[in-house]
């Protein structure tokens, strides 16, 4: 079953640069605030290893990315977010 599927995949012309429209979550939703005290929202902007996600992945605008990095760094300081998540 696996091999025919592979065949179909390669036969189709792959859309290499397909990506769904990214938008800044904080620009679209004014109720959403970037604050180090609310780690729940910040958690969406860190990787599973605890790194800050780049703008090209999250799609947030420059202004809000700056605020995000500051908020994440502050949240790390006060142990709301981890500095690193060590491997299992």
Q: Using the minimum distance from each CB to another protein, give the nearer residue, 36 or 69.
A: 36
In the complex, the smallest distance separating the C-beta of residue 1 from another protein, rounded to whole angstroms, is 20
- Residues near another protein (CB under 8 A): 15, 18, 20-21, 25, 28-29, 31-32, 36-38, 40-41, 74, 76-83
For residues 16 and 20, which CB has a smaller minimum distance to another protein in the complex? 20
The CA distance from 25 to 46, in Å, is 14
Measure the CA–CA gap between 81 and 51, rounded to whole angstroms: 10
Smallest separation (angstroms) from another protein to the CB of 51? 14
Q: How far is the CB of 55 from another protein (least distance, A)?
A: 18
d(CA 86, CA 59): 27
Distance from C-alpha of 73 to C-alpha of 77, rounded to nearest angstrom: 6
């Amino acid at each position: 079953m696996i091999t025919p599927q592979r065949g179909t995949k390669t036969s189709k012309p792959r859309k290499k640069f397909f990506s769904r429209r990214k938008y800044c979550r904080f620009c679209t939703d004014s109720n959403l605030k970037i604050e180090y005290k609310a780690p729940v929202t910040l958690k969406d902007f860190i990787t599973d290893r605890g790194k800050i996600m780049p703008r090209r992945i999250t799609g947030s605008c420059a202004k809000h990315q700056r605020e995000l990095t500051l908020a994440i760094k502050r949240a790390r300081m006060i142990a709301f977010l981890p500095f690193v998540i060590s491997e299992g």
